[in-house]
Amino acid sequence: GLGFNIVGGTDKQYISNDSSIYVSRIKKDGAAYLDGRLQEGDKILAVNGRDLKDLRHKDAVELFRNAGYNVSLKIQRRLQPQNGPVGHRDDGESGGLPLATILVPGLALAAAAVWILLRYRQRM
């Protein structure tokens, strides 16, 4: 397989009033994961030049299964993270700044301030 799961279609809308096909999950070590360009939540507009508009879910799945070895996807990135399974990160990352990014400069400033204070006291 291509290494990802999809949701959506005219018969199984993932988003109300939107029958588009979306990437719901990228499988670790699958083709899409190793390639690195496709992301969970991306809307897939076309596969090998074939438009996915107004397809039933099972027809979209069949199109992916028969896509061949070299696959070209036309996608639209999600603009904002969505609630639910799309955009969910289960790799233990919060998506924010690492704590060390904040603590290390803060500790360096505090150490410099203590050093200056001690030098100032010695001169008095």
- pLDDT at position 118 is 79
- pLDDT level of residue 50 (50, 70, 90 thresholds): very high
Residue whose tokens read 């988003």: 15
Query: Over the stretch 64-118, which tens digit does the pLDDT of each residue have?
Result: 999 888 889 999 997 655 555 544 444 444 445 555 556 666 666 777 777 777 7
More confident residue, 45 or 94: 45
4-76: which CATH topology? Answer: Pdz3 Domain (2.30.42)
Give the start-to-end residue ranges of the domains of the chain: 4-76
User: Do 4 and 30 contact (CB within 8 A), yes or no?
Assistant: yes
Q: Vertex 6, ends 21 and 72: CA angle to 5°?
A: 70
The alpha carbons of the chain give a radius of gyration, in whole angstroms, of: 24
Q: What is the pTM of this model?
A: 0.62
